[in-house]
């Protein structure tokens, strides 16, 4: 009870300080289309209404211009796939991040822009393959971090579990998959499934491998994982937030 009360106060504090923040949810696909994308969009909109941040949604890459990206405090790639930005748009996104911008990749954001090395380092890893949807145990590696502080030490849940390649050694792991609890894992004992990076230009990059299924976005723990990730980005300059 005490833990959930503390988390409630944390989110209440976040919501007060997240007001007037602008988020762009980008969901363009040039490969597999996740049927859960509309569900994910509505979930993030709901979280914005509940926590005081504004959400704009697009699948149009023309939003990725230097001038337009300045309007956003956070860019979310929601189940994007394939090559979704041209060279000019890539340059604009790089300049946004180099100016202290923030990024949050959800699930298939790792199945995106394989030929763009900069993006691979930003998202933290690329998708390799996955087994069928099934339940697995997730181990919380950083229980004091606000993004995952609400979770039990072992979090059993059902989703589509990605195997990864080209994992960036700079990532700070928040959650790991326990491959002994499901079939088809290929990363062994070191199988990250959520992580973040503090970037040299002052921004942050966060990634979560969950979010394939419609059901994910109805799970209270996963919804809280999303909103705590978003609010961590929007309020990370506050000295009271644990890094």
- Coil, strand or helix: which one is 13? helix
Which is it for strands 103-106 and 126-129: parallel, antiparallel or unpaired? unpaired
Q: Which fold has domain 2-235?
A: Rossmann fold (3.40.50)
pLDDT of residue 20: 79
pLDDT in tens, the chain (243 residues): 445 444 554 554 444 444 579 999 999 999 999 999 999 999 999 999 999 999 999 999 999 999 999 999 999 999 999 999 999 999 999 999 999 999 999 999 999 999 999 999 999 999 999 999 999 999 999 999 999 999 999 999 999 999 999 999 999 999 999 999 999 999 999 999 999 999 999 999 999 999 999 999 999 999 999 999 999 999 854 333 333
Show me where the domains of the chain are located. Answer: 2-235
pLDDT tens per residue, range 167-193? 999 999 999 999 999 999 999 999 999
> How far apart are alpha carbons 243 and 232 in whole angstroms?
9
> How far apart are alpha carbons 218 and 158 in whole angstroms?
12
CA-based nearest residue to 209, from 177, 171, 170, 166: 177
> How far apart are alpha carbons 106 and 243 in whole angstroms?
21
Q: Let me know: does 34 contact 79? Beta carbons within 8 Å.
A: yes
Q: What are phi and psi of 50, to 5 degrees?
A: -75, -25
């Amino acid at each position: 009870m005490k833990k959930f009360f503390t988390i409630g106060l944390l989110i209440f504090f976040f919501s007060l300080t997240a007001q007037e923040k602008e988020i762009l949810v980008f969901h363009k696909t040039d490969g597999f289309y996740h049927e859960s994308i509309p569900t994910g969009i509505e979930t993030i909109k709901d979280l914005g209404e509940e926590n005081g941040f504004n959400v704009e949604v697009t699948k149009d890459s023309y939003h990725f211009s230097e001038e337009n990206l300045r309007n956003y405090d956070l860019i979310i790639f929601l189940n994007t796939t394939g090559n979704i930005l041209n060279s000019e748009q890539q340059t604009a996104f790089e300049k946004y991040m180099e100016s202290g911008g923030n990024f949050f990749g959800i699930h298939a954001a790792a199945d995106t822009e394989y030929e763009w090395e900069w993006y691979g380092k930003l998202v933290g890893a690329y998708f390799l393959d996955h087994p069928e949807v099934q339940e697995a145990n997730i181990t919380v590696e950083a229980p004091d971090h606000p993004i995952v502080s609400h979770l039990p030490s072992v979090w059993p849940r059902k989703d589509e579990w990605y195997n990864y390649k080209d994992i960036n050694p700079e990532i700070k792991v928040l959650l790991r998959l326990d491959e002994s609890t499901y079939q088809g894992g290929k990363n062994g004992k070191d199988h990250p499934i959520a992580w973040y990076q503090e970037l040299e230009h002052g921004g942050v990059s966060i990634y979560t491998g969950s979010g394939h299924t419609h059901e994910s976005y109805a799970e209270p723990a996963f919804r809280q994982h999303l909103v705590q990730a978003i609010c961590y980005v929007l309020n990370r300059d506050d000295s009271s937030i644990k890094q």
